[in-house]
A and B are shown apart, each in its own frame.
Chain A
Amino acid sequence: MAYVPDPAPTPAAPSGTSFVQRLTSRAVLAPIAAIIVFLLFWEGLVWFNEWPNYIMASPSDLPPAYSRYWELFLVMGWQTLWRTVVGLLLAVVVGVIIGMIMGFSRTMRDALYPLLVGFNAIPKATLVPIVALLFVGQHDFNTVLIAFLISFFPIAVSISIGLSTLEPEYRDILRALGASQTTIFWKIALPKTLPEFFGALKVAVTLAFIGTNLMEIVSPHGRGLGALFDSGKTNSDYPLMFAVLIALAILGIALYYVVVALEKIFAGWAERAPS
């Protein structure tokens, strides 16, 4: 049978192209154009309806807000960022452990699954006041905890499904050579599960980010972008509130694409797999 050649390289990926070429490529220009159209539409909407500042801020209100509070944005943005990342790392560690337990043992899967699903069904906003009351004043801890609680579920499920659906032949080729369970896990089960894991991580990173902000907005005298948003609300500083929203969006995009980059590095092989 004929050898199937490499698929044509995507425009953004090849290392051979120059930086300028990459900047002008469709993958970069198209989203920038979309953002500009979106901002123009927003500005136009506010201008057309003659909405005052205290009903709806417009994009032109944002630069003054940023230049006035830029120090606060840096400090608070950092708070939100590290709390999200720590919560997410915790979710990865615990999610992978739970996923491994459920993936390797049928009994544990049957036992834990309803519990996990039930826990996942609870709206996490209801956990926020409970956690805030449990650990009064522990802002960092509370925020990380909520980020973790809200995001570990998809990771646990993806790992358990990835491991439990491993075809027996994959196990057998190594088992027949006398390989230990640990070797089979590192050489086959783990790499084979990575694409599913990263799919779940993309969901989890957004969830963790939402969890962090939920807690930051609710806890009194808190820190982070959520708290900055809350102070904008208290002072009826609408441009500040919108500036926070945009900052959150940018941070969210950055976090998401970090995960995408990690996925490319560790599970890039899955993109070309036909299955």
Chain B
Amino acid sequence: MTQTIEISGVTHAYDTASGKLPVLDNLDFIVPSASFCAVVGPSGCGKSTLTKLVAGLLIPDQGKVLLDGRAVKGPRSTVGMAFQNPVLLEWRTILDNVILPLEIVPNKLTRSQKEDRARELLSLVGLEGFETKRPSELSGGMRQRASLCRAIAHKPDILIMDEPFGALDAFTREDLWQTMHRLRAEEPFTCMLITHDLRESIYLADQTIVLSDRPARVQHTMDTSMNGRTDLDVLYEQEAVEMLHVLRDQIKIAQGRAEDAQAAQ
């Protein structure tokens, strides 16, 4: 079952050598169940910190992260994570890498059922035939595909992705966007995507949230659902181009370059 993510009054600071570093400042937003939310914002503003809070790897100083109304108190096996670095395990085959979560979370699957699940996902992202390869034998885009499979192998309610396509070239990235739409059609999850690519947020997300510079507040929220369209052409049409303009201006404001944003108007 997918879950609604509710970020409610979340404030967080890190203890550093030079005192408290406030990172998140009273964040409030909701990601409806089974929807896709993109979070953009200046680098270092606290986006990765937000993913750790939703994953339960960190507990906020103030406020709550609620999943279907229940406060997150720690890590849960109903979460899947993917990062910019695919962090595949080199001593395992691609198939065994995808199986990894099924070895951790409690389940009643037999070994062959786990393999079937991994194979099903690998073929969904176009990696059939690569099950017995080692990660180093794959290209960067293929590794990221495998990493996505691993993130959802245990059918998590929530998928958290932290700049998963950030290190890929533009064409590979567009391929993976389409793969992402395909996964969404087949696999149910509520998704939170951190990205610095505004076109990516428009193409993939139903809702895009712009965070301000550190300490991050919600600066702007935009409906970026493209009426369910999944072809790349949608990005070149008027509606998307206008969204792109607004988001770019919002990022400039977030970066403290408001004059640039006004000049562009």
Pick the contact of A178: B75, B103, B130, B134 (CB < 8 A).
B75
Q: Does B178 contact A (CB under 8 A)?
A: no
Q: Does A4 contact B (CB under 8 A)?
A: yes
Q: Does A191 contact B (CB under 8 A)?
A: yes
Q: Does B139 contact A (CB under 8 A)?
A: yes
CB distance from A46 to the nearest CB of B (A): 50
Type the 1/0 row for A261-275, where 1 means its CB is closer than 8 Å to any CB of B.
Answer: 000000101101110
CB distance from A9 to the nearest CB of B (A): 14
Type the 1/0 row for B113-155, where 1 means its CB is closer than 8 Å to any CB of A.
Answer: 0000000000000000010001011111110000000100010
Q: Does B225 contact A (CB under 8 A)?
A: no
Q: Does A174 contact B (CB under 8 A)?
A: yes
Q: Does B179 contact A (CB under 8 A)?
A: no
Residues of A158-202 at the interface with B, using a CB-CB cut-off of 8 Å, are: 167, 169-170, 172-179, 183, 187-188, 191-192, 194
Q: In which size bucket is the chain B interface?
A: 35 or more
| B contacts, CB < 8 Å to A | 52, 55-57, 74-77, 79-81, 83, 85, 87, 89-91, 100-101, 103-105, 130, 134, 136-142, 150, 154, 160, 172
Given A2-B139, A172-B81, A175-B57, 6 further pairs, Cβ under 8 A:
A174-B100, A176-B160, A178-B75, A192-B91, A273-B90, A274-B136
CB distance from B21 to the nearest CB of A (A): 17
Given known contacts A1-B172, A176-B75, A273-B90, A167 and B85 CB-to-CB distance under 8 angstroms: yes
Distance, CA A85 to CA B51, complexed state (A)? 49
The 7 closest A-B pairs by CB, nearest first: A1-B139, A269-B91, A178-B75, A176-B55, A169-B87, A177-B104, A273-B90
Q: Which residues of B contact A71 (CB under 8 A)?
A: none
| A contacts, CB < 8 Å to B | 1-6, 167, 169-170, 172-179, 183, 187-188, 191-192, 194, 267, 269-270, 272-274
Q: Which residues of A contact B75 (CB under 8 A)?
A: 175-178
Pick the contact of B105: A167, A177, A187, A188 (CB < 8 A).
A177
